[in-house]
Homo-oligomer: A and B are copies of this chain.
Amino acid sequence: MADEALSAGATARRLGVAVTTLRTWHQRYGLGPSQHVPGHHRRYTSADLVRLDIMRRLTAEGVSPAEAARWARRASDDTVPGGASVRAGSRGVRDGGGTAIPVGRAGPAARGLARAAMRLDTVAISETITRSIATDGVVRTWDLLLRPVLVGIGERHAATAALIEVEHLFSRCVSAAFAAVVAGRPAPAAPPRILLSCADEEQHSLPLEALAAALAEAGVSHRMLGARVPVSALLDAIGRTGPAAVVIWSHIRFTADAAQLTALLTAPRRPLLVLAGGPGWQAETLPAGVIRPVDLAEAVALAVAVRDSLDQAAAS
């Protein structure tokens, strides 16, 4: 095979970790180049890289580094089981620390995802998200996996003004995963009766995309306008499509202009239901007639209810 032995730096870059981390893995876990003279430079052969890749994959799936290294050291081939089963085998192991993104008690899966994000490991991120959606559904994936990581990134970002590239790359993967869910559903016969839109100036559309994916998963078709929708454009869209329900998302107070909601309520062909989603909205300032779902699950439930009632009305 190609005796293309990589230097320590090149290997670290490949994995998305620091050179010191690589050295630490060698010292703490015995996970280093197969042959290495102390004091000399490390050269990672392709066999070593395979081992490190196991390490990468397992830690991205939430296995603690110590445990992952144990597997990587033993198994030289792809005889390594998935992260879930490995995790199941080791309970009560301490984990976490370093420059990790805080995910609190959200669980190993979230921690692994956070680690993959720090390494800018697009592949691992996307795989994890996709698998979680397939297993647990969009809502649980959002609440238990993605949101903790996003919040963690946000906190870190606010504290140290770093990690912007991590946040962007991660958001992109999330967005793509949700888009895949939406695209994966067959086109419904009936035109969508639910309109999703961000508030004016509102840039964060990820939660709304989560809602869109959740709706698609539940078989509810919708129309998604996306971020930064001016009121006039929103009213225009409503006038043109006459949705039964409208969800307006506001992430920060600044974008939560209650006048937008009032405009919807007083619009010709006003939607049956107006939902104000997101932490931006203040309960007191909402005009009467606006519903404020507390979380994603409730929003989905409301939307499903709307769909069902419409179906019944159409059937009778």
Contacts and interface: CB of A to CB of B under 8 A. Distances in A.
Interface in A63-111: none
Interface stretch (A3-11, A144-152, A274-282, A284-292): A3-11
B223 A122 contact: yes
A154 interface: no
A260 interface: no
A101 to B, nearest CB: 15
Nearest to A161: B232
A176 to B, nearest CB: 4
A16 interface: yes
A229 B43 CA distance: 34
A183 B7 CA distance: 31
Question: Looking at chain A, what size class is its interface with the partner chain?
Answer: 35 or more
A236 B165 contact: yes
Given A122-B192, A314-B7, A16 B241 contact: yes
Given A7-B314, A9-B312, A172-B224, 10 more contacts: A5-B316, A7-B313, A9-B242, A130-B183, A165-B197, A168-B233, A171-B226, A176-B182, A176-B183, A179-B179
A229 B250 CA distance: 23
A55 B234 CA distance: 26
Given A164-B233, A165-B236, A6 B313 contact: yes
Contacts of A176: 179, 182-183
Interface string A242-284: 1000000000000000000000000000000000000000000
Number of copies of chain A assembled together: 2
Contact of A229 (B168, B225, B232): B168
A139 interface: no
Given A187-B123, A234-B165, A311 B242 contact: no
Contacts of A122: 192, 223-224
Contact of A180 (B130, B179, B310): B179
Contacts of A130: 183
Given A120-B237, A162-B233, A236-B162, A4 B310 contact: yes
A238 to B, nearest CB: 9
A31 to B, nearest CB: 18
Contact of A164 (B163, B192, B230, B310): B230
